[in-house]
Structure 1
Amino acid sequence: METVPNGISATRIEHANWRKSRRSNPSGNCVELAVLADGGVAVRNSRHVTGPALVYTREEMAAFVQGAKDGDFDDLIGRD
């Protein structure tokens, strides 16, 4: 099983099933994620689908998602 390098063009990730949040908007302001064959998770900008993909381990993604659920990043979205 080949490891996908961080920063690879998202179009070079074979068999990626990219998906985005149901909360994405028509302006395309969202990210898309794909589970990789080695269990990692690739992330790309939905407006630049041929651009680079950032690759994270499942553990890194779990920590991020839990932090988001806990509100750790709420200050980044400019809510009052």
Structure 2
Amino acid sequence: MSTALALAVMGTAGAADARVGADWVGYGCPNHYNAVRCTQEGINNSPTPHHVKVDGIVGPETGDDLLGWLGSGCDSYLPTTG
């Protein structure tokens, strides 16, 4: 799962309806279990895994992208833009 912490997905995805203000995922962040699990699942479900960029942080924009590739259940754990 540590790979998920080092990855941020760049690309386009559908609108997200997550909890604004959810903790970021990455180095120096709280890294709650479900946030890390959702990050890994989002990367695994990405239709363009070759566009994964390493920057070590899943913030609101990356959270939006990941939620576009996830089913329900992760919308409370990843940060989003709105």
TM bracket (short chain): under 0.3
Structure with the larger RCO, 1 or 2 (CA within 8 Å, 6+ apart): 2
Question: Which protein is bigger by CA-based radius of gyration?
Answer: 1
TM-score w.r.t. length of structure 2: 0.27
The structure in which a higher percent of residues are helix is 2
The structure in which a higher percent of residues are strand is 1
TM-score w.r.t. length of structure 1: 0.28
